[in-house]
Structure 1
């Protein structure tokens, strides 16, 4: 399905009924990364997965966008679907967007799942790395980005034992528009630090991290889990940065339990 916001056409899937969960994908992937979650969790909840601008079937304009504008897209989708409140499930870049959404539209949040992400802004070295990756994407294309990103996205266990997952991620990255890759990198490099914002979050929050995640490691998850009032932390063994794909059953169980408790508290 598609909807338009401010001249940009965005794609999304909408399955199931009940409490809405909105899934925000990682860089440089698309909504298909959430298939193990939407397939399983749509039996109990309403699951919505969107292609962020520049990804999947959404438009990929080349411009200097911010993560706040990505958050505006999420709000536009909620408004399009007449959803007053939802649980955001954001992984990596999706987590950055979830934090941006919470700053602007906190009243629309029923809960937050922040997976394999961080609240801190980029370090100077991190910004340089994004600049260099943008130049690689512009000069050599998405194939070269895939070669660089695979070891950052997947843990050692998956890289060694799950060749089909490795091939699937490589294929997704290769099909990501270069404009989307470059715009993402600029937006992520310019995002503000959110550490001070954490203590203002009022909605229930689950922080998830893969034990083998070296891109946003356990220390980053601790910053969020200790900074957000009442947040809980879950560590997934034998998973790297894409913990939802590397250990989908464990990830699903964590989200299911968290959302069931949310629903029960609201009844």
Structure 2
């Protein structure tokens, strides 16, 4: 389905009936990343998947997609669907968006899962990496996207998931140059939101990849302990929904049962 939002079109789908669960994809991904989880999760829940601005079938909106702007699109979809409360599960960028949504709409949150994501702000090193990536993307977006996807996996897993990685690359290529640049700029300026986890009275979970090349496992553990947030550690990299699919589904089911 398509929802108009500030002159842009936002694509979303719903699956199943029951308590609402919103699944938010990561950078260079889109709502298709959830296809293997939906059949099981939708048995007892209403699953809502959204293509974030500049990704998949959703338009871009300006040249900086802040986490707050992304969160506004989520709020617009939930208002359209008349959803009063939900559990938010966000992968990477989707986790940053979930936190921004939770900050603005705490009364609507029943649970929050940061999947290979963090409530910390970007380090200066990460900001520099994003700046360099944006410069390279303007020269050769396709090459930049293809390299980026492979680098998100624990390198020993790359040969195991060649077909899955190829599908991810094809979906990532739906991301426009404007969408790529705007999301990177938005992630660079996002604030620290440790306090959202610390102050939350709802259920919360951090999914950690032990070999995550993007978010260091020790920093994730420190964050979980500092914010009193439950966590699980998988032995893969940044792409738990592929590298640790069964363990992820079990962890999410446990979160949803609480």
Give the structure 1 partner of residue 111 of structure 2: 111
Superposed, 1:178-257 pairs within 5 Å as 178-229=177-228, 231-237=229-235, 239-257=236-254
2:139 is matched with which residue? 139
Q: 5 Å matches for 1:39-50?
A: 39-50=39-50
Give a deviation string over 1:94-146, Cα, whole Å, max 9, x none.
111111111111111010011101222112221111011111111212x1222
Alpha-carbon separation, structure 2, partners of 1:122 and 1:178: 22
SS at match of 1:60: coil
- Asked whether the 8 Å contact 1:19–1:46 carries over to 2, the reply is yes
CA RMSD of aligned residues (A): 1.5
The question of 1:66 aligning with 2:66 is answered: yes
- In the alignment, structure 2 segments of 5+ residues that lack a partner are none
How far off is 1:223 after superposition? 3.3
- 1:213 alignment partner, SS class: coil
Say whether the 8 Å CA contact 1:136–1:144 is kept in structure 2. Answer: no
Contact 2:88–2:113 under 8 Å retained in 1 = yes
Q: Is the 8 A contact 2:64 2:181 kept in 1?
A: no
Q: What is the DSSP-based 3-state SS (H/G/I as helix, E as strand, rest coil) of the residue aligned with 1:12? A: strand
- CA-to-partner distance for each residue in 1:5-63, whole Å, 9 max, x for gaps? 22221111100011111001010111111111112211121111100010101112342
Shift of 1:157: 3.6
Q: 3-state DSSP class of the match of 2:59? A: coil
Task: Give the Cα separation in 1 of the matches to 2:184 and 2:96.
Answer: 12
Greater percentage in helix:
1
Paired with 1:223 and 1:112, the residues of 2 have a C-alpha distance of: 18
In the comparison of the two structures, how many residue pairs are matched? 258
1:243 positional shift: 0.3
Q: CA deviation at 1:152?
A: 3.0
Q: Distance in 2 between matches of 1:67 and 1:135?
A: 21
Give how far 1:245 is off. 2.0
Deviation >6 Å, runs of 4+: none
The 1:50–1:195 alpha-carbon spacing in structure 2 relative to 1, beyond 3 Å, is same
List per-residue Cα deviations over 1:138-173 (Å, max 9, x = no partner): 1212x1222331243212242021111121122122
Deviation string 1:213-258 (CA, Å, 9 cap, x unpaired) is: 12113223223322334x2111122x21010122222111111121
Q: Are the counterparts in 2 of residues 198 and 227 from structure 1 also a CA contact under 8 Å?
A: no
Task: Report the Cα distance in structure 2 between the residues aligned to 1:21 and 1:221, rounded to whole angstroms.
Answer: 24
Q: TM-score, normalised by structure 2?
A: 0.95
**Within 5 Å, which residues of 2 pair with 1:78-97?**
78-97=78-97
Alpha-carbon separation, structure 1, partners of 2:94 and 2:250: 20
TM-score normalised over the length of structure 1: 0.92
